[in-house]
Amino acid sequence: MNRRVAALLVAVLSSSVLMAFVIFTQQQAEERRLDAEVFARINAISIAASAGDLTIEEANAFWNRAGGEILNEMSRLQVPVVITDTLGNPLNYSHLPDDFPRTPEGGYDQEALREFAQNLEETRGHFDIPGGKVHFGDPAFLGRLRLIPYLIAASLLVILGGGGWLLFASFRSERERIWSAMARESAHQMGTPLSSLVGWLELIETQDRSELYSTGELDVIDEMAADVERLQKVSRRFELIGRKPTLDSVSLGTTVEQLRRYFKVRLPSLSMVGKIDIVVDIGADAPKVLGNATLLEWAFENLIRNAVDSLAPDGGRIVISYLGPNGKRAVYRVSDTGPGVPPSIRDKIFDIGVTTKERGWGVGLSLTRRIIEDMHNGLIQLEATRRSASFRIEIPQSHEGKKKV
C-alpha cells in the first residue's frame, strides 16, 4: 500500500474515532442534564406526598395521582421501576425486562414482580413514599457509560498503533531508498573500471593465441574474461535492486549448472584446504519458473557461497536439488554437510546483520530472501535439521514451463 494512502486512511480512521467519541460524550452530557431534571421532579413529588399529616387513605389517594407522574418521569430515564405497598405487594411498574415472566392472560406475574422488587432493593436500594416504596434499577445510559473507557482505549490504540506503523513504514521505506541508492551508486562506480578491464582483455586477445596457448596464458585470460563478465553481472544486479524486475521464463537447472561450473574452478582457493563437491540434481523434467535470471542466479549464488564458507576448511558436499511442485510453485533445496546453523540464530538467520562468520556482514541471506519473496512472490525457509544447513526455496512456476496433463 502506498504510504500516502496509508497515512490518509489512518488519519481518517483516527479522526472518525475521535469525532464519534466527542459526539457520544456530548450526548451523554445532555442526557445527564435531563436526568437531573427528572430526579428533581421526582424529589418534588415525593416531598409533596410526605408533606402534612395525611392518613394512610389520603396518602394512598395522593400516590395514586402522583404515581403515574413519577413513572412517566422515570420512564424518560428508562429505569426499571416497581412500586410496592408497605407489605411488598406490587402496585405499579415500568420498564421491566423484555423477557419478564407473564401470566397466561398476558399480564405480569405478581410473584415475579415481588422477587424482582426485592432484587432491585438488594442491588440498588429504594426510597420511601407514603404507604409504600419505590424500587428502581440502573438506567439504560449506565451501560453506555461503561463503554467510555473502551472507546478511549480503542482511540488510543488506533492512534498509537497507526502512528507507530507509519513511523515503521517510513523508516523502512527510507532504509529501502538508501539501500537502493547505494546499490545503484555502486553499480555506477563499478562501470568505469569494468570498461577498462574489458578494454585490456580485448587488447591482450589481439595477440597471437597460439603463443598464449603454448605458454598456458590463454586459460588464465579466459578465466579473467569470466571474472570480468561476472563483475558485469554483479553491476547489473545492483542496478536491479529497488526496481520492479522483469520476470521471464527461467530454467533454474541451467542457471544453477552455470554456477556450479563457475565455482568448480575457484573452489580450491575458496575452501582453502578441503575438497568441496557441488552436485546439481535438477532433472530435465523440472519446470521453468517465472523470474528474473540475473536475480535468481544471485540468490542461489549466495546460498552456495554460504555453504562453501561453512564447509571450509574441512570440505564436504553441496547439493542443489528439485523436490517437485507445491501447488503453483516449484520447490528446490540447497543443502550442505557442514556444521549447520546455531540454534540461537535460526529464527533470525534472514535478518540483516546476522551471521556466523567472523568477518561477515550478514547481508547475503537477507538479500536472498528479498529476491525470492519480495521480488518473485516466493518463499525461502531454513529447514529443521540436527546437523548441516538445508534451505527450501519455492518459486512460482512459469506457464511456459508447466506440463500439459
pLDDT in tens, 322-377: 999 999 999 999 999 988 888 888 888 888 777 777 666 677 888 899 899 988 99
Instruction: Give the whole-number percent of the chain exceeding pLDDT 90.
Output: 19
Which of the 8 DSSP states describes residue 371?
I
226 vs 85, 201, 209, 253, CA distance in Å?
106, 11, 17, 20
Mark out the alpha helices in 206-250 (DSSP H runs): 209-214, 217-240
Rama region for 294: left / alpha / beta (φ>0; ψ in -120 to 50; rest): alpha
269 vs 180, 218, 260, 318, 358, CA distance in Å?
32, 20, 15, 17, 18
Residue 286, C-alpha cell as written in the block: 523440472
Residue 147 confidence (pLDDT) above 90 = no
378 confidence band (pLDDT: 50, 70, 90): very high
Check residue 87 and give its pLDDT. 81
Check residue 405 and give its pLDDT. 32
Q: What angle do CA 391, 397, 398 make, to 5 degrees?
A: 140
Dihedral (CA of 330, 351, 170, 241) sign: negative
Q: What is the pLDDT of residues 68-96, one digit of tens each?
A: 666 666 666 677 888 888 788 888 887 78
221: exposed, middle or buried (C-beta count within 10 Å: 0-12, 13-18, 19+)? middle
Give the residue, 262 or 212, on which the prediction is more confident.
262
Contacts of 381 (CB under 8 A, 6+ apart): 391, 392
Residue 41, C-alpha cell as written in the block: 421532579
Which of the 8 DSSP states describes residue 108?
B
Check residue 328 and give its pLDDT. 93
Rounded to the nearest integer, the mean pLDDT of the chain is: 75
Q: What is the model's pTM?
A: 0.52
Residue 98 confidence (pLDDT) above 60 = yes
Contacts of 100 (CB under 8 A, 6+ apart): 108, 109, 112, 116
60 confidence band (pLDDT: 50, 70, 90): low
What's the rounded mean pLDDT across residues 285-299?
Answer: 92
Q: What is the C-alpha separation between 341 and 338, in angstroms, rounded?
A: 9
143 confidence band (pLDDT: 50, 70, 90): low
| Whether 290 contacts 376, CB under 8 Å | yes
Partnered with residue 390 across adjacent β-strands are 335
Check residue 231 and give its pLDDT. 73
Check residue 33 and give its pLDDT. 67
End-to-end CA distance of the chain: give it in Å, rounded: 38
Q: What is the pLDDT of residues 4-37, one digit of tens each?
A: 666 666 677 667 767 776 777 777 677 666 666 6
Q: What is the C-alpha separation between 348 and 336, in angstroms, rounded?
A: 20
Q: What is the C-alpha separation between 234 and 246, in angstroms, rounded?
A: 17
Residue 309 confidence (pLDDT) above 50 = yes
Q: What is the C-alpha separation between 350 and 343, in angstroms, rounded?
A: 14
Residues 49-74: b if buried by 16+ CB within 10 A, e if exposed: beeeebeeeebbebbeebbeebbebb
278 confidence band (pLDDT: 50, 70, 90): very high
Residue 121 confidence (pLDDT) above 50 = yes
Check residue 245 and give its pLDDT. 82
Q: What is the pLDDT of residues 167-186, one digit of tens each?
A: 666 655 555 665 565 555 56
Q: What is the pLDDT of residues 227-248, one digit of tens each?
A: 677 677 776 777 676 677 889 9
253 confidence band (pLDDT: 50, 70, 90): very high
Give the residue, 195 or 306, on which the prediction is more confident.
306
Partnered with residue 393 across adjacent β-strands are 332, 380
Rama region for 88: left / alpha / beta (φ>0; ψ in -120 to 50; rest): left
What's the rounded mean pLDDT across residues 43-55?
Answer: 62
Residue 101 confidence (pLDDT) above 80 = yes
Q: Could you tell me how many helices (H) and strands (E) the chain has, helices first?
A: 10, 11
CA of residue 403 relative to chain centroid, distance:
36
The pairing of strands 81-85 and 90-94 is antiparallel
116 confidence band (pLDDT: 50, 70, 90): confident
Instruction: Give the whole-number percent of the chain exceeding pLDDT 70.
Output: 57
